[in-house]
Every structure is written in C-alpha cells, then in structure tokens.
Structure 1
Amino acid sequence: MESGGAVLIVERALGNNNDRKHIDALRENGYTVNTIARGTNPVPMMSELNPVAACFQYDYPDLPGLADLQNAKQRVPSVPILMITQAHSEALAVWAFRTRVWDYFVEPVDINRFLAVVEVLAAVRQADARTPGRKERGVASAPYRIPAEARVRPPDTPSTAQTRALENALSFIDRHLHEKIAQADVASICGLSPFQFSRAFKRHFGTTFQEYLLRRRVAEAMHMLKHPGASITDVCYNVGFRDLSYFTRIFHRYVGEPPREYRERAKISANGKPPELPDPEQVLSLPMRNPKH
C-alpha cells in the first residue's frame, strides 16, 4: 500500500495501558508511524520529518506532559497536533483547543473519526506541497497557562460519584459526536435517571444537556471548516447533524453567520489576513447569538 505519510506518536502516558488500536489502524492504512518515548523532546523529530500530524497520547495528563505539547506547538507550528487522553475534563479540552490542538480524542478512540481527521491532514499536506511559498499558519506568541484543573488526576483521587458520572457524559459525547445522541441513553450510561441527570448536568455546567450538545457539535464543525478539503455537507454529517438546512440554521444561531461564510473567512485568516474569527471552543461558553434571518 502506498504510504500516506508519517505520523508521530508522542508517548506521554504515565502508565502502559493506553489504547493502541488507532496506531494499528494508521499502519493498516499506509501511514508510517514513528514513536517518541516519554521523556524525549519531540521537537527535533517534528522539525526533521515534518509529519502529517504529531499525536500526543496521555492517560492522566500531568504538567510536564502538557507543557511538552505546548512547547512543541510553539516551536513547530506547521505540524498539526492531535491529542488523545484516557482521562477527560472540560478544562482540559478547553485548554487543548486554546493551545491550537487540531483535534481532541478521548479513549477508546473512535477509529473512523481519527482516520478521517488524519486523512484530511494528509490532503492538506499534499496541497501545501503543490503550492510553493504558501504561508504557514502560526500560533499566538503568549501560551495559555495550564490550569490546575486541566491536570486530570488518576482514578484513586477522591471525587464525588456524580462528578465522575458527568465527566463520563462529556467523554461519551466526544466519542460519539458523529452519531445520534439521546439524553436518556447518556443518563443511563452515567447511572442516573433522566431527571437526575438533567438537573445534575444543568447545575454542574450551567447549561442544559441539549444546549451543550448543540454547542459541542457546532464547535467541532467550526474546527473542521478550517480544513480546506472538508465540504460543508461532510462536516454536517461528521458532527452529528442529519439535515443540512438544520445544521446551517443552528450554526448561524451560535456563530452569527452561515457555515459557508465562516469557511471563507477562515481561508482568509489562513492566508495571513486574520479577520475577527471566533475560536471553536468559545462557542462552548459564549452566550447564544440570535441573528435575524
């Protein structure tokens, strides 16, 4: 099989029980996989190989491991970074996207979505190779501070059962974002009744489950629309919408403009003329906009 390019796996797990199926899937689909062991600086190999992506893999992210990712993004901004974590928190996901991580996965990794993201990155890399002199997109010079709450603790750290259940809900959403997600099913997975789950989710996150789910889908869509090779229809279905007109309406509601206009402005931003383009993670916290149609 023809090689799809090189992908770096940057090991930053504290233990040895990470999911490896996505690595096997990369090899099966023609990608060359290089591994960088924990404690080894990934920057030299990222600079030398110029891979399709550098995939930072964690079980319970600690301060040194997150600092390594942040440093790598600053030193080699042209290499897209994917983040895979066994443990998940909202603060960790927000920090990752603010650090300009290309995409964020929670174990067990959704292999189809993972391969789809890598395929898009490979296509972008090939397009860049055919366009000499294209300006690479940089990152903000001032790194975001790694918040204490983003350093996800191992499972033996005391926490309430309900908080753990709600973190499971966010992990489930991230893993199944491209599918239909019913609130009753998520409540059952968390060991709560629909009524208990609804009240706990609203109290903990300050928004309803359905509101968060829509915002999460739109945030992912904003992220994907920055990829030159992704069509609006593909993005619609990949983030869990099943109707293009409904997706367009919901996207407009939260972002303030339809997907097509947002994508065009993203292209302008990528070419070095940055308009005021909202970050995807902002949709998870900003008040909903109500544009006139």
Structure 2
Amino acid sequence: MKIHDYVLVVVRNLRETCDDDYVNVLRQQGYHVEVIPAGQDPIPVMEARPPIAACFQFDYPDLQGLADLREAKKRTSSIPLLMITQAHSEHLAVWAFRARVWDYFVHPIDMPRFLAVFETLRSVRLPGQAAASGKNALDLQNTIPPEARLRCPAPGGQQSQLDRALAYLDQNLHRKIAQSEVAESCGLSTFQFSRLFKRLTGDTFQEYLLHRRIAEAMRLLANPKVSITDVCFTVGFRDLSYFTRTFQRYVGQPPSRYRLSMAESAAQSSSKPAIPTPAPGMSPEARIDKAETSLSPSS
C-alpha cells in the first residue's frame, strides 16, 4: 500500500469555528495538509490515498463524531489517527486510547511534541526510509517518559490539586458549585485557587465549569430517552430557558435541534452505530456510560 505525503485533517466540530492553528504550523513546516469538512466521510479518501496520519479535530466530541473516528480506525487500521480536542476529560482520553488512536492532543496543543510525532511518522511511513530505525524511533516517541515513570506528583503538588478540583467538579456537576468550596477542597484560598486554575487550564473557573456543563449536556442529549429537562438539571442548570440560551450560544443550535440533527445524521448512514436503548430506570449518567461503552473497541 502506497503512503502519500500529506496529512489529512477530519473536521468533526459542532461549532463553525475552532482553533486550528496547528494546521498552519504543519504547513509552515512543509507538510501538505488536506481537510475533510464536517459531514463528509473521510474513509474513501483514506482508502484511496493513505496519508501519513489523519487528525480527527473536535471542539466538543459527541457520540456521532466519536463513532466516525472508531469506524475510520476499523476500516483503515494501518493509518495512525490523532485526536485533537478542545473539550477534555479523563474519561474521553481513556476512550480515545481504547479506540487505538496514535496520540491525543488537547488545546492549547503542545506544538514541539505535536511536530515531533509527525516528524517520526513521516520518516517511518514514507517509502525509501529505513523501516527498522524508524520503528525504533517511533516506539521511543510513544513510550512513557522516564520522568513520568520514576516520579509521582507530591500529594500537595499543584497538578494534584488541580486533579482534585476537576474530580470534585465532575462529582458535583448536577448542583450549584461555588469556587470557594472547590478551593477549600484543595486546601487553597479562593485567590490562590483562581490563579492556579487559570494558569494550569487556560480558563477561569467559571469558564471551565460552563464548558464542562455544556459538554456533559451534549453527551446526555445523544440518548433520545433522556428528556431535555432532565439534561438541564443533571448538568447543574436550574432554569430550562437559560440552559437553552446558553447551549445555543456555545453549540450554535438549541438542545432540541442539536438532538434532531444527531438523529438525522445517524439515519443517513446505516453503517453508523446506533445509540443503544437504556434499560428502564437507569439514571442519565448510567445511560451515557452505556452509550459510550458501545463505542469502545472490542478487546
């Protein structure tokens, strides 16, 4: 199979705009980049002209977009897939690696590591390169860094404090959350926590919390058995009209239209996995877990 000297970017954004500066960086480094827009199937292109790698670009990953990535990996298993996302969670990262993506990047992208991955992939996959030495380089690039193996963050370290805060948010997303209570759970003052959170995440606490609520709402809306009102309250909103306005501002369409567009998209392609029907009496969170489990590749 002939590998072609280009990078394929598969756009699966839910909003019209998304940070894609990495595309310009790749082009500046001499890579030819081709883009598959949202709504277009990338598999025919990947099968006809296998690229060095394919980047699946998400702003807020939804069930349909993740299903597209999994289907591409299934149909073109030899092509390395990279996942690039604005919305990030530990659960999403675990899903990505279970889906056998080659690497996973969160905005803002670590450009030195990003370019190093492509440099290695290019040297391995293009004809005329030394396969053996390239394979060794590729393995080296994708191994756990030695310092990560030898050192663990101290219990009171900043990253540990942030991880504790993010876990606290996920566990309490259904209710009103004050920044002061999260700061207290991390053993910090509100001012210290605010500075730490902004520096490590790039967002203010309130910005991150709102993005997280909307991302979770999008996941819940993937299940037609969960009412929009239930979604609203499950992700911590207390007013349906405010939830609808906020959702539309971030996603570009109201929750009802977003859910309908997902159903229409799924109906257009019978090859796409259907959203599983949850058992009666399951909580919204359990239903989402069931839906995501259906996307996990077979072991």
Question: Shorter-chain TM-score category?
Answer: 0.3 to 0.5
Q: TM-score, normalised by structure 2?
A: 0.44
TM-score normalised by structure 1 residue count: 0.45
Instruction: Please state which structure has a larger fraction of its residues in helix.
Output: 2
